[in-house]
Amino acid sequence: MTVTAEREPAQVATLDPAAIAREASPEALSGTSRTPALLIEHLSKRFVVGRKRKPVTAVHDVSIRIARGEIYGILGANGSGKSTLIRLVSTLLTLDEGRVAVFGHDIEREEMRVKRLINRVSVDAAFFKKLSPWENLVYAARLYGLEAGPAQREAVRILSRLGIKESRMSRPVEQMSRGMQQKVAIARALLTSPALLLLDEPTTGLDPRSKLDVQTFIEELRADHDATIVLTTHDLDEAERLCDRIALLNDGRVVAEGTAVELKAQVVRDHGGAETLENVFMTYTGRSLDEDVEEESDDAE
């Protein structure tokens, strides 16, 4: 459906968060710097979906500035461009227009340095299904150039923290539920201690207890490792709990941005209705979170 090919996954080279941070520019990591962890300026992306159809604009003139240590949420209906935006930032897709910088590093001119700073969790994570969660994580760690011993210990620690018992770590991934597989995907991303973590609907498919485990772990990750996190989600309660600020994406455009408190107060003041994020979302987009955007392909989501 699309003529744009995805690139290789992001890679990092150490488990040590401090060493990861050193890849960022000194200005970005200093306490007095105004260099953002993630800067998106006038970003646009189009997809060709057929010879006789006009290109679909999945992301249109998006500008976002995210500070170091912030958890930034992106809300949007299916097909609004959330996942495309995450793929662009993670260097999996090329930019049509605009600029993206991670801790001061341009993702086009300094792609390999950016890849050492980021990692991404997708709702459709891929694994070696015949291997166990532990084997998948250790294999990924070796690909990233991590030392075997520390990587193995860290893999067990993260899997345990996400609620995966040691007895399950040796079972094939194909025998696990979708929710458990998503936990393994999150653990694989966290194994590299990224300075910028891109979470594309990370709790989709999880039961309430597992979702709570992941949400708590995300909060701990920010608190303990000073990670900056970009989170796309359909869960309004999750966005309100985790996110310092939230952007609403509609038809590939940012239509509103602010804290949950600011957005709710603004909608009540200007439009009336309940002081809820659901009312905010319906006011600015005119659709429910589960409503598909017409003419959007899966690739453009």
pTM, rounded to two decimals: 0.81
199 domain residue, yes or no: yes
297 domain residue, yes or no: no
- DSSP letter assigned to residue 96: S
**Residue 291, pLDDT score:** 57
> Which one-letter amino acid corresponds to residue 56?
V
- Residue 203: give the domain boundaries: 17-285
296 domain residue, yes or no: no
> Closest Cα to residue 227, out of 199, 201, 203, 206?
199
Per-residue pLDDT of 134-150, as tens digits, reads 888 888 888 878 887 88
> Closest Cα to residue 287, out of 235, 249, 240?
249
66 domain residue, yes or no: yes
Tokens of residue 229, six digits: 């996190």
270 domain residue, yes or no: yes
**Residue 11, pLDDT score:** 37
Alpha-carbon distance of 43 to 81, in angstroms, equals 12
Within 8 A by CB and 6+ apart from 159, the residues are 133, 134, 137, 169, 183, 184, 187
223 domain residue, yes or no: yes
3-state secondary structure of 251: coil
Count of domains for the chain: 1
* C-alpha separations of 239 from 87, 121, 214 in Å: 20, 17, 13
Per-residue pLDDT of 229-250, as tens digits, reads 999 988 899 999 999 999 999 9
Low-confidence ranges of the chain (pLDDT < 70): 1-33, 287-301
- CATH code, 259: 3.40.50.300
8 domain residue, yes or no: no
5 domain residue, yes or no: no
What sign has the CA pseudo-torsion 115, 230, 217, 125?
Answer: negative
